Amino acid sequence: MNRLITSVICGLVGINTMLYADSSRPKLVVGIMIDQLRTDYIEYLQNLFGEKGFKKLMKDGAFIKDVDFKVNGLDPASGTAMIYTGGYPRHNGVTASKVFDPVTKEMVPTLHDQAMIGNFTTETYSPANLRLSTISDEIAIDGAGVASVYSIAPDAQQSIIMAGHAGTSAFWINDNTGKWATTTYYRDAPSVVTQRNYNESISSRIDTMQWKPALPLSSYPGLPAQKRILDFKHTFPTADRSVYRMYLSSPMVNTEVTDVAITYLKDLKVGGRGDAIDMLNVGYTAAPYKYVKDGDFRLELEDSYVRLDGQLTRLFDAIEKYVGLDNTLVYVASTGYYDDAVADDPQYRTPTGDFSVRRALSLLNSYLTARYGNGDYVDTYSAGHVYLDRKQIEEHKLDLKEVAEASRDFLVKMSGVNDAFTMGDIMTSALPAMEAMRLGTDPKTGGDVVLEFNAGWNIVNDTKFPNETQVARSSMVQTPVFIMGCGLAPVTIDTPVDATAIAPTVTQVLRIRSPNGAESKPINLPRK
């Protein structure tokens, strides 16, 4: 018996040794999330790209053209969580960037954690509400406490999701101060970042920054005549209260992220030790720049892709220099949505209207008061979700299901509302059309009634100051994933791939465990 146990143990040790000795196991994994990256823009603009950015990804790795997220209402946080956990929002705990807090009756960041302290920020975050393990977690566990897992991104929650529960550190840019910030959840705060806040801070440089076209205007395809003659020059004056939000939504922030990523490779020697797989997570943006005077951001968007290609080139060159691309697995993913919704000029007479959230909630409360007696029955609204005051409903000894259904039936009759659903409708309906809502909704944090608006309508959230306006639009676009390195052969996959398959595919290539809640089988990618 002892001999048998010894043989099994030796066999397992031998397998583990073979895995670490396998040259296809990299020294470094680089995970890159790009907010609102589109496949069609990459293909459309590829003649403007260099050879070592997007073209290299398309030529040397697996190019998955159409990643299907299967849910509505994605944002940087929820899209990133799907890619990194392999689980749908309903299961991974991140359905949106903000959720309703029934105690404070406020919308708060999904990863808000009062037990933590912010460094260079008043924000308090941790990955505690992220319910599943991530690619980063599995790499850290595989490294048995030796691997380093770092994350840098413009957005706080995106950076934390990429770092995972077991990450070494996560940094983001505070949108009020421009400082690189982190949370005390992580055990390490690399001095290369904290020193940058003092010696090369964004706030000390932002007044001098200018964003102008990187190429002659004639180079950009598909633009109307006036866009080819009217140049743009965007500045970031600190006198503007929105200056850092403007900066974070521009391609200028991608340069800052690359600068910091290169210092991690150079000074922290991420991926340079060879005793475990290290990981560097990087967040970029390819979102439309909506701080334009004429509402037409097409030229800025094309220029953003050109500039992003340049930052990928810089990052890949640094990886080659300090670690070697042959020793690195790189994957690049989109957050899976595209928000191009701006109000059309009235001259085009497209169907539209204004939906006032304040008015809708007030009318709903008046209706419920007339039906059930005096009370404040409505708590708040966020991203199509209407939250009822459950304490008030309980005090009136009312049935929540009945009140929610009455609210649904009232709200669906309002101008601009295409349809309305209770949480019960979403969770129990067998209709295929409801599947996307079900996978993207967490009944623990979602509203009691969910509204679906008519396309083209302006949703004016005038319950807060300043007012926030969103234009209802369904932008179904193809979003890509690239996976390059570890001996993978070049391949282009045109058929749709479920977004939940990306995490188990990456871990399979690495020959480590899949995240614990991954809901799809990995894609078997060809090897050289």
Q: Residue range 82-100: average pLDDT? A: 96
What strands lie across the sheet with 118-119, from one edge to the other? 118-119, 180-183, 169-173, 149-152, 278-285, 28-35, 328-334, 481-484, 62-64, 491-493
Measured CA to CA, the distance from residue 101 to residue 58 in angstroms comes to 43
Residue that terminates a domain, selected from 440, 471, 502: 471
Give domain status of residue 288, yes or no. yes
**pTM here?**
0.92
485-502-156 Cα angle (round to 5): 95
What is the structure's pLDDT at 59? Answer: 97
Give domain status of residue 521, yes or no. no
* Whole-number average pLDDT of the chain: 91
What length is written for the chain?
528
Measured CA to CA, the distance from residue 99 to residue 118 in angstroms comes to 20
Whether residue 21 is predicted with pLDDT greater than 60 in this model: the reply is no
Question: 308 to each of 26, 40, 304, 313, how far by Cα in Å?
Answer: 25, 15, 6, 9
> 436 or 170: whose pLDDT is higher?
170
For the ranges 257-261, 386-390, 462-466, which has the lowest average pLDDT? 462-466
Strand extents, DSSP E, 352-479: 354-356, 378-382, 385-388, 417-422, 449-453, 458-461, 468-471
What is the structure's pLDDT at 187? Answer: 82
Q: Residue range 411-431: average pLDDT? A: 92
Residue 466 CB: number of other CB atoms within 10 A? 9
Q: Residue range 458-469: average pLDDT? A: 83
Which tokens is 54 given? 């997007």
- 456 and 412 inside one domain: yes
Task: Please answer whether residues 70 and 498 qualify as being in contact, where contact means their C-beta atoms are separated by less than 8 angstroms.
Answer: yes
Give domain status of residue 347, yes or no. no
Give domain status of residue 85, yes or no. yes
Q: Residue range 474-492: average pLDDT? A: 93
- 446 and 493 inside one domain: no
Q: Which residue range(s) make up the domain with 185?
A: 24-340+476-510
Neighbouring-strand partners of residue 356: 460
Task: Please answer whether residues 206 and 243 qualify as being in contact, where contact means their C-beta atoms are separated by less than 8 angstroms.
Answer: yes
- Could you report the per-residue pLDDT of 107-127, keeping only the tens digit for each? 899 999 999 999 999 999 999
Tally the domains of the chain. Answer: 2
- 290 and 389 inside one domain: no
- 276 and 336 inside one domain: yes
pLDDT band at 319 (very low <50, low <70, confident <90, very high): very high
Task: Please answer whether residues 166 and 149 qualify as being in contact, where contact means their C-beta atoms are separated by less than 8 angstroms.
Answer: yes
- Could you report the per-residue pLDDT of 56-79, keeping only the tens digit for each? 999 999 999 999 999 988 999 999
What b/e readout covers 11-24, taking b as 16+ CB neighbours within 10 angstroms? eeeeeeeeeeeeee
Measured CA to CA, the distance from residue 395 to residue 7 in angstroms comes to 67
- 43 and 169 inside one domain: yes
Measured CA to CA, the distance from residue 225 to residue 22 in angstroms comes to 56
What is the structure's pLDDT at 464? Answer: 77
- 484 and 459 inside one domain: no
- 164 and 250 inside one domain: yes
User: What CATH number is given to the structural domain containing 374?
Assistant: 3.30.1360.150
Give domain status of residue 515, yes or no. no
Give domain status of residue 256, yes or no. yes
> 43 or 290: whose pLDDT is higher?
43
- 146 and 85 inside one domain: yes
- 331 and 279 inside one domain: yes
Give domain status of residue 301, yes or no. yes
What is the structure's pLDDT at 23? Answer: 54
pLDDT band at 1 (very low <50, low <70, confident <90, very high): very low
pLDDT band at 15 (very low <50, low <70, confident <90, very high): very low
- 330 and 431 inside one domain: no
User: What CATH number is given to the structural domain containing 216?
Assistant: 3.40.720.10
Q: Residue range 434-441: average pLDDT? A: 90
Which tokens is 481 given? 């994933």
Give domain status of residue 42, yes or no. yes
Collapsing DSSP to helix, strand or coil, 280 comes out as strand
Sign of CA dihedral 361, 363, 365, 367: negative
- 335 and 447 inside one domain: no
For the ranges 136-140, 306-310, 312-316, 372-376, which has the lowest average pLDDT? 372-376
- 175 and 62 inside one domain: yes
